[in-house]
Structure 1
Amino acid sequence: MPISSKVGHDTERSQAIIRLVIPSLVILYIAILYFTSPTAAEWIVPVLSYIMAFLVVSLVLFIAIVRQPGVYPLRRLFGMLHDYSGITFTLIIGGKVLLPVYAILLWVTVGNGLRFGSRYLAVATGLALLTLGIVTGLTPYWREQPYVVITLVITTIIVPAYVHVLLKQTRRASEAAIAANLAKSRFLAQASHDLRQPIHSISLFTACLRDADLGAKERQMVDNIDKSLHSVSQLFRSILDIYTLDSGKVVPRLEVTPVRELLASLVQQNAEAARWAGVEVRVRPTRCCVRCDPVLLTTMLQNILSNTFKYAPGKPVLIGCRSRDGALAIEIYDQGKGIAPEHLTKVFDEFYRGQQVRDKDIEGVGLGLSIVKRLGELMSLDVRIGSRPGRGTVAIIQGLELASAQEVRPSTGHSMPVHLLRGLHVTLIEDDRNVLVATASLLEKWGCIVQTETSMPMRKVDCDLIVTDFDLNTEVSGADCIEHLRRLHGRKIPAVVITGHDVKHVQELLGNKEIPVLSKPIRPSELRSVLTALRLDMAPQASA
Structure 2
Amino acid sequence: MDQAKTKRPRSLLLGAEHQLRQPLNAVSLLIGELSHGLSGRDRDAVIDDLRYALMLSNHWLDSLVELEKVDQGLVVPLVEDLHLDEVFARLREDFAENFRGQGLDFRVVSSKQIVRADPGFLRRILTVLLDNAAKFTREGKVLLGCRRMGGMVRIEVWDSGLGVAADEWMKVFDPYFRLENEVRPRERGLGLGLTLAGKLAALSGDQLEVTSRLGHGSCFSLTLRAVDPRQPRSSPAQEHSGMPPNPLDGARILLLEQDEAEVLSNHFALWGAQVQQGAATAAALTQELDARPALLVADHLTFEACGGWDLLSAVRRANGEVPAVILLGEQGGKPSKDMGVPVHFMARPVKPARLRALCLFALAPP
TM-score by length of 1: 0.33
- Rg bigger for which structure? 1
Larger strand fraction of residues: 2
| Superposition TM-score, scaled by structure 2 size | 0.48
Whose helix proportion is higher, 1 or 2?
1
Higher RCO, 1 vs 2 (CA within 8 Å, ≥6 residues apart): 2
